[in-house]
């Protein structure tokens, strides 16, 4: 049901946004919002992190210019739409917050509570969490009706999907405004309920588990990838995809899925993904996972 009606109803339109966290995702989200014409403040806790976020955004832009898909004038305009900031003051008047700080429930709950106190009563607050329950993140918020998940995929500028995750108290107005903002960003939003794995990971992780079983039964992972790529026609096989996702992220997510669905997604003993993780092979991000990268 629609619980407490403490705050004002969420805004209907998003004209100004802020992203908290200027990491891989924050930088991508800032780029995408700015590129599609919604000015965005990018807030982090130190200068180095902000520089990294700006580098992500300008890196995507530079590539577009090099490929002749954008001129320098448009690039300057997009960059001008991103305001880096170290202070919460700058986010006071935004219509929507996209929280994209580290995947840690304690940090996220603290950040969400802090920012809720600063924005207007009718501002929308969202989280880009991949694995944390939206209801858990909403637990101590004063206006849970104005809160939902807004889950982008990496790389943000290339992946069309955004999962809009509705918690038990999320209002229809909030969902509608976030769906509209995602569409304005040029994305294809879907609305899903709050559950472990949301939509994509509920489909993807059983597939990864199937792959892990095959490897444990003796299959050569390169052969599995080859079949899925060359014969079945998918853009990449499971081993390569796991390297792209990140072995650390995948291992963490496997744990969340097995905790959420203990029977269907029972924890696999000697899961090759966990073995790689304990050997510090994190995938493409550190140059070694299932495969080695130059
Ligand atoms: P990241 O480590 O690259 O970036 C996190 C950023 O948050 C860092 O710049 C850090 O300085 C900043 N930060 C930490 N505490 C903060 C605070 N209190 N206020 C402001 N900024 C703070 O992480 P990422 O990969 O960009 O992931 C961010 C979120 O997006 C996580 O919840 C993650 O689960 C989710 N996500 C990640 C991916 C992915 O593939 N990387 C995909 C979808 C969703």
Q: Is the pLDDT of residue 150 over 90?
A: yes
Residue limits of CATH 3.40.50.720 in the chain: 17-193
Q: Is the pLDDT of residue 2 over 50?
A: no
Find the mean pLDDT for residues 129-155: 97
Reported pTM: 0.94
For the domain spanning 17-193, the CATH number is 3.40.50.720
| Whether the CB of 200 sits within 6 Å of ligand 1 | no
1 exposed, middle or buried (CB, 10 Å; 0-12, 13-18, 19+)? Answer: exposed
| Whether the CB of 154 sits within 6 Å of ligand 1 | yes
pLDDT of residue 6: 54
- pLDDT confidence tier of residue 143, bands split at 50, 70 and 90: very high
- pLDDT confidence tier of residue 1, bands split at 50, 70 and 90: very low
229 is annotated as contributing to ligand binding? no
Q: Residue 185 and residue 7: Cα distance in Å, rounded?
A: 27
Distance 27 CA to ligand 1 centre (A): 10
Per residue in 78-115, pLDDT (tens digit) is 999 999 999 999 999 999 999 999 999 999 999 999 99
Verify whether residue 252 is a known catalytic residue: no
Angle at CA of residue 263, ends 260 and 269, nearest 5°: 95
pLDDT of residue 140: 94
- pLDDT confidence tier of residue 125, bands split at 50, 70 and 90: very high
Atom of ligand 1 nearest to the CA of 110: 18
Per the prediction, the chain carries an average pLDDT of 95
Q: Residue 60 and residue 39: Cα distance in Å, rounded?
A: 17
Distance 171 CA to ligand 1 centre (A): 26
As given in the structure block, the two tokens for residue 230 are 């060359």
Q: Residue 113 and residue 139: Cα distance in Å, rounded?
A: 10
Inter-residue long-range contacts of 288-291, CB under 8 Å, 24+ positions, other chains counted: 289/239, 289/242, 289/243, 289/247, 290/221, 290/239, 290/240, 290/242, 290/243, 291/239, 291/240, 291/243
Residue 24's nearest CA partner among 267, 230, 179, 245 is 245
Find the mean pLDDT for residues 227-241: 98
The answer to whether 82 and 42 have CB atoms below 8 angstroms apart is yes
The answer to whether 214 and 208 have CB atoms below 8 angstroms apart is no
pLDDT of residue 7: 61
Distance 44 CA to ligand 1 centre (A): 10
pLDDT of residue 209: 98
Residue limits of CATH 1.10.1040.50 in the chain: 203-286
- Whose CA is closest to atom 39 on ligand 1? 154
228 is annotated as contributing to ligand binding? no
Q: ipTM surpassing 0.90, yes or no?
A: yes
Q: Is the pLDDT of residue 165 over 90?
A: yes
Q: Is the pLDDT of residue 4 over 80?
A: no
Q: Residue 25 and residue 155: Cα distance in Å, rounded?
A: 8
Distance 20 CA to ligand 1 centre (A): 8
As given in the structure block, the two tokens for residue 291 are 């495969």
Lowest mean pLDDT among 11-15, 120-124, 166-170: 11-15
For residue 179, give the H/E element and its range: helix 172-184
Atom of ligand 1 nearest to the CA of 26: 26
Q: Is the pLDDT of residue 45 over 70?
A: yes
As given in the structure block, the two tokens for residue 161 are 């999907």
Inter-residue long-range contacts of 176-179, CB under 8 Å, 24+ positions, other chains counted: 176/12, 177/10, 177/11, 177/12, 177/13, 177/14, 177/95, 177/96, 177/124, 178/96, 178/124, 178/126, 178/148, 178/150
Number of residues in the chain: 294
For the domain spanning 203-286, the CATH number is 1.10.1040.50
pLDDT of residue 8: 79
Per residue in 255-289, pLDDT (tens digit) is 999 999 999 999 999 999 999 999 999 999 999 99
- Whose CA is closest to atom 40 on ligand 1? 154
- pLDDT confidence tier of residue 146, bands split at 50, 70 and 90: very high
């Amino acid at each position: 049901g629609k619980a407490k009606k403490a705050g004002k109803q969420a805004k209907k339109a998003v004209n100004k946004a802020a992203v908290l966290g200027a990491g891989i995702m924050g930088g991508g989200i800032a780029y995408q919002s700015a590129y599609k014409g919604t000015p965005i403040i990018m807030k982090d806790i130190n200068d180095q992190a902000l520089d990294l976020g700006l580098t992500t955004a300008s890196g995507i832009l530079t590539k577009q210019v090099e490929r002749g898909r954008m001129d320098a004038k448009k690039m300057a305009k997009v960059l001008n739409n991103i305001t880096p900031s170290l202070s919460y003051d700058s986010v006071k008047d935004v219509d929507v917050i996209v929280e994209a700080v580290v995947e840690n429930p304690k940090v996220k709950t603290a950040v969400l509570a802090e920012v809720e106190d600063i924005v207007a009563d009718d501002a929308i607050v969202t989280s880009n969490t991949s694995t944390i329950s939206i209801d858990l993140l909403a637990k101590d918020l004063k206006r849970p009706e104005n809160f939902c998940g807004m889950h982008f995929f990496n790389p943000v500028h290339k992946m069309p999907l955004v999962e809009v995750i509705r918690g038990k108290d999320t209002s229809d107005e909030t969902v509608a405004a976030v769906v509209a903002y995602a569409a304005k960003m040029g994305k294809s939003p879907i609305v899903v309920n709050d559950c472990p794995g949301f939509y994509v990971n509920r489909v993807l992780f059983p597939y990864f588990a199937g792959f892990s079983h095959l490897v444990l039964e003796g299959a050569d992972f390169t052969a599995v990838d080859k079949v899925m790529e060359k014969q079945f026609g998918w853009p990449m096989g499971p081993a390569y995809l796991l390297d792209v996702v990140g072995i650390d992220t995948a291992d963490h997510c496997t744990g969340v899925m097995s905790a959420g669905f203990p029977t269907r997604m029972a924890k696999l003993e000697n899961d090759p993904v966990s073995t790689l993780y304990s050997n510090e092979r994190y995938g493409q991000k550190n140059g070694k996972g299932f495969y080695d990268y130059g």
